[in-house]
Amino acid sequence: GQNIDQPTEMTATEGAIVQINCTYQTSGFNGLFWYQQHAGEAPTFLSYNVLDGLEEKGRFSSFLSRSKGYSYLLLKELQMKDSASYLCAVRDNTDKLIFGTGTRLQVFP
């Protein structure tokens, strides 16, 4: 079956660094995506990994290890506006995007 696991909730302080982990077991693998979703809004694209390693984009970085079925999203210099849900999603071998349950991040001043 398809399984994507993320922590349900995390908290962090403004200015700090937080790492959100994602482990997956899916029918095939054609890339891993991270999305940010604010309450009541649609997800917005953050990053895409298809090869092992780290992809850096400003304050956000995403890491992938295909052999371990593992990814993380790293957020640096946290801001209050980063309080949101972060969704890990894997594109499987049928071309579908399978979403994890999401991690709700709260940033405190």
Closer to another protein at the Cβ: 76 or 96? 96
What are the two backbone dihedrals, phi and then psi, of residue 29, each rounded to the nearest 5 degrees? -145, 120
What are the two backbone dihedrals, phi and then psi, of residue 81, each rounded to the nearest 5 degrees? -70, -10
Q: Is 11 in the site for another protein (CB under 8 A)?
A: no
Closer to another protein at the Cβ: 31 or 76? 31
Q: Is 74 in the site for another protein (CB under 8 A)?
A: no
Count Cβ atoms below 10 Å from residue 28 Cβ, excluding itself.
12
Tokens in use for 77? 């210099």
Binds another protein (CB under 8 A): choice among 24, 33, 63, 72: 33
Q: Is 45 in the site for another protein (CB under 8 A)?
A: yes
CA angle 54, 80, 107 (to 5 degrees): 75
- Judged by the rule CB under 8 A, the positions of this chain that interact with another protein are 33, 35, 40-45, 48, 87, 95-102, 104
